[in-house]
């Protein structure tokens, strides 16, 4: 792994439209793993929002290595719910119809992975994950107001009207939707920790704090290599989050003299709290599974 490159001085990418910015990141990330791409994206980002986007895109590619090169989005939520039984978006005869509330990247996203009901009427709920391109007939995007955090990353609503889509192999829920939550958690943590590490280099934070952030990057990179469906992976991911959270007091002191970087972080640090309660529930379930495993 090119740690010397990832931990040394780097020039942040200049501001540009998101597709062009991401294309520049991909050009520099050629040959890297998804964890390395998330770290590099964090180092090259001028804002935590862009770092989040880099981590999110890396997670998509960890889930689906055949993903197109352009910006994509994972679309599950409907009416603030992610429960399969609450979904009304459906895949029928290879066509998607319905509405998804949240498209990360908004109208800049070029393709979507959409969770949709696909069971015959009267049977148990079954979810398929479908790939559909933005330029497909029957696909429309409705821009949404900026969020209070990561204001530089747009969001949109996805409207689908009999849009031709490709269903990915396997179970859309167990093989894709559930693992993506874990993949997103670890890759976004890597990207945002890398952003902070870069600020620490520029602002000459104490070496001890920079080394601790580097330790989070090393631990998170190892977790990113593991199967996101395994209980032990959730336990180890919880450990990496705990490792990061233990740095908050030191980070607060260091950020006091970080000027505009501090303002950006304090605005956007809530990105790591998104879906925190669901992550905690997965951790508790995983810990119970690991601790109750039979002795060999």
Answer yes or no: pTM beyond 0.75.
yes
- Residue 81, C-beta contacts closer than 8 angstroms, at least 6 positions apart: 87
Burial (CB count <10 Å: 0-12, 13-18, 19+), residue 88: exposed
Structure tokens at 52: 């989040």
Q: State residue 281's pLDDT score.
A: 86
pLDDT tens-digit series, residues 17-58: 999 999 999 999 999 999 999 999 999 999 999 999 999 999
Cβ atoms of 117 and 90 within 8 Å: the answer is yes
Low-confidence ranges of the chain (pLDDT < 70): 1, 295-296
Where in the sequence of the chain do the CATH 2.40.110.10 domains occur? 72-167
Q: Which residue has the tokens 């990105």?
A: 271
Q: State residue 156's pLDDT score.
A: 97
Q: State residue 295's pLDDT score.
A: 63
Q: State residue 276's pLDDT score.
A: 78
Of 135, 140, 58, nearest in space to 106 by CA: 140
72-167: CATH, from 2.40.110.10, 3.10.310.10, 3.40.640.10, 1.10.150.120 = 2.40.110.10
Structure tokens at 98: 């319905």
């Amino acid at each position: 792994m090119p740690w010397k490159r990832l931990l040394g001085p780097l020039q942040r990418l200049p501001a540009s439209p998101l597709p062009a910015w991401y294309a520049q990141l991909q050009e520099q990330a050629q040959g890297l793993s998804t964890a390395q791409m998330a770290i590099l994206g964090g180092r090259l980002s001028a804002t935590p929002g862009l770092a989040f986007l880099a981590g999110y895109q890396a997670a998509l590619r960890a889930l689906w290595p055949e993903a197109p090169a352009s910006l994509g989005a994972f679309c599950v939520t409907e009416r603030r719910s992610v429960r399969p039984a609450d979904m009304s978006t459906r895949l029928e005869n290879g066509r998607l119809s319905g509405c998804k509330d949240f498209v990360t990247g908004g109208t800049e996203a070029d393709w979507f992975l959409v969770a949709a009901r696909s069971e015959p009427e009267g049977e148990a709920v079954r979810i398929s994950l479908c790939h559909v391109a933005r330029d497909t007939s029957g696909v429309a995007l409705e821009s949404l107001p900026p969020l209070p955090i990561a204001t530089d990353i747009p969001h949109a609503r996805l409207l689908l009207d009999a849009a031709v889509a490709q269903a990915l192999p396997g179970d859309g829920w167990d093989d894709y939707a559930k693992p993506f939550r874990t993949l997103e958690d670890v890759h976004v943590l890597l990207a945002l920790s890398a952003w902070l590490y870069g600020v620490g280099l520029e602002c000459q934070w104490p070496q001890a704090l920079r080394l601790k952030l580097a330790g989070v990057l090393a631990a998170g990179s190892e977790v990113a290599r593991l199967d996101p469906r395994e209980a032990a992976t959730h336990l180890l991911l919880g450990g990496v989050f705990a490792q990061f959270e233990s740095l908050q007091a030191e980070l607060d002191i260091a950020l006091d003299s970080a000027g505009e970087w501090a303002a950006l972080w304090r605005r956007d640090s809530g990105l790591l709290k998104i879906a925190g309660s669901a992550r905690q529930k997965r951790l508790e379930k995983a810990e119970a599974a690991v601790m109750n495993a039979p002795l060999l």
